[in-house]
Structure formats: structure tokens, C-alpha cells
Structure 1
Amino acid sequence: MAVIADMPDFWSNLADKIANDMPTRLPSVKSMLLNGGQIVLGAQSYFGGLDVGNAPSCANPQLSCHNQTAIEDLCCFNYPGGQMLQTQFWDTNPPTGPEDAWTIHGLWPDRCDGSYEANCDDKRAYHNIRDILESFGATDLLSNMTTYWKDYKGQDENLWMHEWAKHGTCVSTLNPSCYSSSYRPKEEVVDYFAAAVSLYQQRPTYEWLMDAGIEPSTSKSYTRAEIQDALESRHGKPVTLGCKGGKFDEVWYHFEVRGSVQTGEFVAADPDGGKSTCPYSGIRYPPKGKSVPAPTASHTRTRTHVPEPTGPPFSGTGHLKVLTQGKNNGIVIGIGEWYQQGTPAKFRATQHEDGFTLASRKGKCAVVQGMFGCGPKIKDPTVFASDGSSLSFNGSTTFYAKGEPTKWDKVVIHVDDVNGSLGTELEVEWQAA
């Protein structure tokens, strides 16, 4: 240590050189060299003295999503969930978490193409996350989660349980068989939450946006490019931006991992198939707990990652009504198009683990090439979510059309407006039959 203390310039210059060569790596090499004990001490405080040597030891691990041949050792290579998404919320109604911080949504393993596994091990779908963390002495980790890993309904532990069961059990390197003989049951639960919190701490969304002049406001609006540039310049790769009704409320940071989630290196990566759902301009970023003006016209793009439901799923049979500017303005007929008058078609909602699917007498319903439709040729129905009584697709309840139907016309319903050519925004509302 005395030698290192006498050579600060050498280590500083070396850290700068390596950090410049590898700008997208996490944690930064510079912070590791200049503050080498910081990461270890952080882990020890989270684990309450737990022997992190129980995690798999990986020699020359490969970067996930980049293998050319099959990898046998899935304790040192995350598969099939090779891309990790650290996801964050900005909940304003009700306001959730500190006013000057985004909150944690989760840590999700994707298959490198935007699809993902879910609920991979029912036997490890633990319901007592707090008790598990306390049993390992992970008091600092638990304190951090209590502040920043928040559920907008106030049911934090239910959110933790959900994220672990749905996503944590699908991380191959967290399989209990990957640990040493001194493994303690449920140790991988602590590893999962510690990794998620560590990534979150190193991706301070609120701070990065403020540094770029993007602050919560009841009057200002921002462009998608402004927000993307602010976060991409710090993360090192594009991020996925989520909006609902033109309000900015979610960010996904994408990573690939060299080695295990417990001890590996997280490397910033391009999004794996998901697309931002924020409009190109007029994005509102409201302060927590304050009202904002009604949304103006926005144009969103589709993402392929199935969203998590934001409300109770539709169930049974019902009708789909069309609303424009909050007022009833027609119905959805059996083929999935917007019609001004007539007898509403009956739709059946079937529950799915991520939401629900829809079908009419014409057939199953799906989003095909950005358009909503139902028919006998559809074999793989789309999974939808709900926000109250409104139909939600990819986190948004806003749909689009070229214009309103005339008395005898039908109009196609679109889920996105990539080119900004669709002039009418609408919502689709469920009415139980």
C-alpha cells in the first residue's frame, strides 16, 4: 500500500488511459483503480459479512450475447437471458420515492433479441424477501431498497417478490448449483437485489438529466432527442425511454455481462429489440405530486418487449369503445377496426401471465405491422395490458388513426405513429358485457 500511495500520478494516468479505452464499462475502471476498496466495501456492507467467494469463480469469461458456439458453463455465462436491463420508474401520481430520484423497477434478463423468460422456478418464488435479506445481515441493502425500490401502491415487498420470482429466477448464474459447497440457501436472492441496486446507483437518471438542463416541470416540454442524448452520453449506449400519454415515466438501461451477475463486469449495450415509446417532441416530465397540463398530440414508436400490466387485466367478455379527447366516439368491430355506429362486437379477454389476450368471433386479435386486427389467420395473439379500463400496449394507452370514420366507413387502428402522419389520437376502453 505504501508503494501505491507514493505513485498517485501513475495510477491516475493509467486509470484515465484505460477508462478512455473502455468508456462503456460498468463500474468504471477509473473508479476501480483509484477507489479499489470502494466496490469491495460496498459489497461487504450489503452482504453483512457474507463470503462472496461462494459465487462462481470464472476464468476468462465471455461476454453474454456474443458467443459463437454453445456455452456449457452457464454459471459463468448468462443464458438464455444474456442482456440485462436495469429499469427505473418516475411515478408522479401518486408520487413515489424521493422527489429528486428515480426509483428502481427491476433487473431483467432478456434473450438478446427483446424476448424473455419469466417465472423460471416456482420453488424459489420466495414471498419473504425482507426476511431473507435480514437473515443475511444485508441491512444497508434493505435500507436502500426501502427508499428507492418503491411500489406506487405502497406495497414495496410485493414488488420485490414479483421482480425476484419473475426475473431473478431466470438468471442462470444465480442458480444455487453455481455456488460453492458453503452456499447458504437463498443466498442468490441477496446477490440479485445487490446487483440491481448497484447498477441503479451507478445510473443516477435524475442527476444526469439535471446536468443536461432537463428538470421536472409543469410547463416545460422536451424532445426525445434531448432526453436520449443526455442519458446516452453518460451510459455509453442508447437507452429505452418510456412514456404514457406523453409523460416521461420509465428508463431502461441495457447491459451485457462478462461473467456472472454476482462478480462479472456489466458492459453497456445497445437495446435488444425494445423501442422507446415516447413521442418525438412535447414530452412532459412533471414533478412528483404536482398536476400537469393535459397532453398534446404525440407520436410514439412501438417496442417489442411485453410491458408489465399497469392495472387489473380485462377478463370475461366485453365490448371495446373508442374515445377521442375523453369522449365516446364509436366502437371496435369484430375485425378490430374503428366504426362509428352499429352493434358493438363481443370480445373475450383471456388472462396471460403478462396481461391478457383478446379474441372476437372473427378470431384472435394481434398487432401486425403496427395495426390492431382480429381474424382467423392470427395464430399468435398479442398480449395486452390495461391502465384502469383503458387498453394498453407497450406501456401506452394512446392509439392512432388517419382520421375519424365517417358514417359508413371503417378506420384501421394503429399502435404507433412512426412518421407522424396519423392525425387522430384515441383510446380504447373495455366495457364488460
Structure 2
Amino acid sequence: MHSKLLLPFLATLSLVAASPLNLFCQRTPVVGPTCSKEDSSQLSCHNTAPVNNLCCFNSPGGQILLTQFWNARPDYGPKESWTIHGLWPDNCDGTWEEYCDKTRETTDVTAVMKKFGKTETLDYMNMYWKSNNNNDDGFWQHEWNKHGTCMSTYEPTCYTNYQKDQAIADYMDKTVELFKGLDTYKILASAGILPSETATYTLEALQAAIKRIHNQDVVFNCRSGSLTEVWYHFNVYGSAQSGKYVPAPVVGSPSNCPKTGIKYYPKGGSATTTTTKASTTTGPTSTPTGTSTPGEPFSGRGYLNVDKGGCLISAGKWYTKGTCATYTATASESGFTLKSSKGSCGIVSNEFKCGTDVTSTVFTASGGKLANGNSTNYYAAGDANDGSQVSVFTSSGSGQTVLSITWQAL
């Protein structure tokens, strides 16, 4: 069955002069798990029974996402290329794990890459894997620490004669390889979709351009109606390091871009203005009423930061001493819903909570802050700066701390 899925992808790959690397060609030498044909015969997320060898089968993170940024305002990275965000192991149901092994986290990816002779990959990362705060290595650390440590086939026990941090080099190497094989700028350009100060595009046209190559829809994310990110979904035969990546349908958060009027601004304002009739309109345009992303900037994935320090963790509590939870904001009705790894988020008896038994609340935003009706004030029953995990409420009480909550996009 999977051969039928791969053939259209391979047949159309020549349309994009992205890289001599083929996604489905095994690199040499293979430094990760070496999997037999039998071990590699099961496609991730498609098993009907537990798989024992998790060195050759990605679980629970079998839905692997290659994510890319388009950074135009402000712009960074090459002007005619998207840049790398990361490689994420999502579960097969739209949820995900994060920061799975503190003992394998890193504070210096550059040193790791040099240690394992990955200087060519490192040079490429320095150009195409860019941080918006001029700390590229810190960004790479974040992606490995948060996502890479949750990929089962990167476990040290999956390697023969494992060397410390070897999996980190493999993760970076594989992310770059996949990115080289999916040059989003050239894929869109081949369909006449080019950055422009004036033209706009439809979501249907963007999806159609990508589908010619990827054979599946992807997730396009926008900010204020302008393209910012694309997520390619895959399932994998074998290990994440050397297995076969098969384009997969989107599971989890859908595109948050409007259906029409999508802007694709040029970096530095120097790209060509396009007038392709099938996917653009010429002249200044605005997003039609009802299609803009509600509650901007709460969209896609991000942290819920608290003005008094710290952030909200996955259950919805305020905390300052640990890792922020990643929330997903999805447009809904006239606002948006929020979800953490614990489940849907909502107001339960005036308390902000997230869990499998919580009914989603449709939130709104005001002035960039999370709104509760007409107010952006929230109230904490204590002070998380003392190390406590503190409940957050929508109504005030005696001695409570007044908070405001803002969004930090990832």
C-alpha cells in the first residue's frame, strides 16, 4: 500500500531542484539503529498491536513533523528560502510528549556537531536553521531537548557502542536532510506562488502546490493573515535516522490561515510580485470578514507566559521554577480554544484547567493578552515565585495576586 503513496512523490520530486539528497535513500554510514527488513516492515502509527523493537519503530511519537519558518517581518535567513524550525515526534492522535529525558539534554550543539565531524551539516544549519533572537545554538538545543529526546529510535540503547551525544548529531543531520528535500520556496514558486507586497493567495492554492510534491495536505500557519510556517507530516518505516519517511495526512492542529487573502511577504521587500490568476489577487487587499485568525496572536503552538514571571504548565497552573507547557491555540467560532498535553483547556468553577475531562472554553484576546469575557485579569491563589504550583482563577478573592497572560509563539 505504501508504494502507491510514494510513487507520486518521487515522480514529482524533480520539479524542485532542492538537493541531491533523496529522502528515501539510506545515508552512509548509518550511525543509528540498523534495522532488518522485518523490523522495518511496520509503518509508524499503523500498527494494530504493540511493537516490541522501538529502536526500529517510532512510538509513541510515530507522526513525525518537519516544520519550517517563513520569516519576513522581521526577516532572517536566505531571502529565497524558508528556514528550519524542527523535527517533532507527535503521537498518532494529535498529542505529543516533550522534554522526555533531562539526562540527555545539551547546552552546546555546535560542539557536538564538531565532535562527530558533522561540520558540513553545521555550516548548513548556520545558514538555514535560524533563531529570531540571534542565538541559533540555543534554538537547536531547544529543539533537541524538547523534541529529539522523545523519539524512541534515538535512545542510546538503540546504538552499538554508543558515544555520548551521538544521537544529537544524528537528529540534527536528519532534520537538515529532510529540509533539503522539501524546499518550500521552490515548491511554491513552481506553482507561481512567490513572495509579494501586494498579491494574496488562497489556502487551496497553497495546499495544491505542496500536494504535487508531498502528496498530502500540510499545515500552513499564519500571523495576521501572513504566512509564517509550514508543517509536513510523515510516518516512518524503521528508525527515524535511516528509515523511509512516508508523507502522511495531518493529525492534530489544522492550518490556521484564512481560506483567502493570505499574504506571503518578501524578505527585505525585494522578491518578485506575482500575478498568477489561479492563486492571487492584485492590488492592496484585506482578509475578508470572518476569515482572519481570531484572537491573534493566539494561534498555533506557544507558551502562556505570566506577567509576574513564569508561565502556565500543562494542567493550567502558574509555575516559575520549571519548564513551560506547550499549548495549541485553534481558531473556533469568534475566538480560539486552547489545549495542552493534559487535554482541552477551559474555565471550570472559575478556575483555568486543562485535562481530558475538561470541556473547551472559547477564549478571546485583547491587546495581546488572554481575555476572560471583557477582562484580561486573572487571579492566583498564592505566589508561584516561592516554587509552588498555583491555581489560576477568573474571579478575585481575598489576598489573590492579579495576573495577565500573554502568548509566546513557538
Verify: 1:307 aligned to 2:287, yes or no. Answer: no
Deviation sequence 1:81-104 (CA, Å, 0-9, x none): 001000000011221100000000
Partner-residue secondary structure (3-state), 1:91? coil
Which residue number in structure 2 is paired with residue 325 of structure 1? none
Give the AA of the match of 1:140.
Answer: E
Residues 412, 114 of structure 1: alpha-carbon distance in 2 compared, 3 angstrom cutoff = farther
Which has more radius of gyration?
1
Residues 264, 253 of structure 1: alpha-carbon distance in 2 compared, 3 angstrom cutoff = same
Q: TM-score with structure 1 length normalisation? A: 0.66
Verify: 1:236 aligned to 2:231, yes or no. Answer: no
Q: Which runs of 5+ in 1 are unaligned?
A: 1-17, 45-50, 318-346, 358-364, 393-398, 400-409, 414-428
Q: How many residues align?
A: 333
Q: Within 5 A, what are the aligned runs for 1:172-187?
A: 172-180=152-160, 182-187=161-166
Match of 2:65 among 85, 92, 105: 85
Distance of 2:105 and 2:362 partners within structure 1: 24
Q: Is the 2:67–2:84 Cα contact (8 Å) retained in structure 1? A: yes
Distance of 1:232 and 1:190 partners within structure 2: 30
Q: TM-score with structure 2 length normalisation? A: 0.70
Which residue number in structure 2 is paired with residue 255 of structure 1? 234
Residues 298, 219 of structure 1: alpha-carbon distance in 2 compared, 3 angstrom cutoff = farther
Deviation sequence 1:205-239 (CA, Å, 0-9, x none): 00011111111000001111111111112111110
Which residue number in structure 2 is paired with residue 206 of structure 1? 185
Distance of 1:280 and 1:103 partners within structure 2: 24
Q: Is the 2:233–2:248 Cα contact (8 Å) retained in structure 1? A: yes
Q: Within 5 A, what are the aligned runs for 1:138-153?
A: 138-153=118-133
Distance of 2:148 and 2:361 partners within structure 1: 22
Distance of 2:32 and 2:405 partners within structure 1: 53
Which residue number in structure 2 is paired with residue 395 of structure 1? none
Match of 1:72 among 18, 29, 52: 52
| RCO comparison, higher one (Cα < 8 Å, 6+) | 2
Partner-residue secondary structure (3-state), 1:146? helix
Q: Within 5 A, what are the aligned runs for 1:301-340?
A: 307-309=301-303, 313-316=305-308
Verify: 1:376 aligned to 2:349, yes or no. Answer: yes
Residues 139, 389 of structure 1: alpha-carbon distance in 2 compared, 3 angstrom cutoff = farther
Q: Within 5 A, what are the aligned runs for 1:12-51?
A: 22-23=6-7, 43=27, 51=29
Pairwise CA distance, 1:350? 5.1
Pairwise CA distance, 1:356? 7.8
Partner-residue secondary structure (3-state), 1:165? helix
Q: Is the 1:241–1:276 Cα contact (8 Å) retained in structure 2? A: yes
Pairwise CA distance, 1:149? 0.4
Q: Is the 1:316–1:350 Cα contact (8 Å) retained in structure 2? A: no
Percent of pairs identical after alignment? 34
Give the AA of the match of 2:34.
Answer: P
Deviation sequence 1:241-284 (CA, Å, 0-9, x none): 10011001100000000000111000000011220000011100
Q: Is the 2:225–2:263 Cα contact (8 Å) retained in structure 1? A: yes
Give the AA of the match of 2:209.
Answer: A
Pairwise CA distance, 1:58? 3.0
Verify: 1:390 aligned to 2:368, yes or no. Answer: yes
Verify: 1:127 aligned to 2:103, yes or no. Answer: no
Pairwise CA distance, 1:287? 0.5
Q: Is the 2:57–2:237 Cα contact (8 Å) retained in structure 1? A: yes
Q: Is the 2:67–2:232 Cα contact (8 Å) retained in structure 1? A: yes
Partner-residue secondary structure (3-state), 2:127? helix
Pairwise CA distance, 1:168? 0.4
Q: Which runs of 5+ in 2 are unaligned?
A: 271-282, 310-315, 329-335, 377-402
Pairwise CA distance, 1:195? 1.0
Give the AA of the match of 1:109.
Answer: P
Q: Is the 2:5–2:215 Cα contact (8 Å) retained in structure 1? A: no
Give the AA of the match of 1:95.
Answer: D
Verify: 1:265 aligned to 2:249, yes or no. Answer: no
Distance of 1:248 and 1:301 partners within structure 2: 12
Distance of 1:383 and 1:372 partners within structure 2: 7
Q: Is the 1:19–1:28 Cα contact (8 Å) retained in structure 2? A: no
Give the AA of the match of 2:36.
Answer: C
Pairwise CA distance, 1:54? 5.2
Residues 225, 412 of structure 1: alpha-carbon distance in 2 compared, 3 angstrom cutoff = farther
Distance of 2:11 and 2:110 partners within structure 1: 27
Partner-residue secondary structure (3-state), 1:97? coil
Give the AA of the match of 1:353.
Answer: C
Verify: 1:101 aligned to 2:81, yes or no. Answer: yes
Residues 226, 102 of structure 1: alpha-carbon distance in 2 compared, 3 angstrom cutoff = same
